[in-house]
Amino acid sequence: MQGFVLAGGQSTRMGRDKALLELEGRPLVAGAVEKLRALGIEVRICGGQQGGPRTVELARYAEVIPDSFAECGPLGGIEAGLAASDTELNLFLAVDLPAVSPEFLQWMAVRAERSGAVATIPRCGGREQPLCAVYRRPLLDGLQTMIGAGHLKVVTAVGEAAGVLGERIDCFDVETVAAALGEGEWPATPPARDWLRNVNTPQDYERMRAGH
């Protein structure tokens, strides 16, 4: 398995680069890279457009992979990661999900390996979270086809690509799994409902800094 941090977004709602926002004394991108490295896997950053001072800054934390398709959002980052990978399983983590724990990522990686699903995607609060997920490399051709057709919504593109392959997607409810595993198996703070909460706006950032 390899790990990829998705850090290519334009941070429009934040008004500044989310990847370089500091939380607990380090940039969000550094925290995401460290969480994936804690699993003992190689980690790279899917950083959007190549070149310029931003690429240099991100490269301080891990190798940066440029998007093959410009202006394609997170789907372009996932495509770039799968294209650069030489392993079957690939764990992706968006840079703006700082509450995700390494324990959860490890559990999801094991689930993906055992299930054989072409995509392993958590669902939290009733919504799929495809930017913290495990994807198998055979999805690559299908995702490239979807990008070429202009279908850039990640959940839709992954579903269509999996259908062409005749493979299944494993989409599981985080809250249900957290309750079933019991106290002590995953960190109790923050609660499971907040693990996949995005930092999209200045208000989100201030709440996260305040620990709310």
Domains of the chain: 2-206 (3.90.550.10)
Q: How many CB atoms lie within 10 A of CB 59?
A: 12
Q: What angle do CA 100, 143, 56 make, to 5 degrees?
A: 60
> How far, in Å, CA of 3 to CA of 121, rounded?
15
The pLDDT score that the predictor gives to residue 204 is 72
Strand partners, 6: 46, 94
Do 14 and 21 meet the contact criterion of CB atoms below 8 Å apart? Answer: yes
The pLDDT score that the predictor gives to residue 106 is 95
Q: Which residues of the chain have pLDDT under 50?
A: none
Alpha carbon 52 to chain centroid distance?
23
Enumerate helices (H) and strands (E) in the chain, giving the number of each: 8, 10
The pLDDT score that the predictor gives to residue 41 is 97
The pLDDT score that the predictor gives to residue 12 is 59
Q: How many CB atoms lie within 10 A of CB 12?
A: 7
Task: Please report where in the chains the tokens 């789907």 appear, as a residue.
Answer: 75
The pLDDT score that the predictor gives to residue 11 is 55
> How far, in Å, CA of 4 to CA of 92, rounded?
5
> How far, in Å, CA of 54 to CA of 63, rounded?
13
> How far, in Å, CA of 58 to CA of 26, rounded?
13
The pLDDT score that the predictor gives to residue 9 is 65
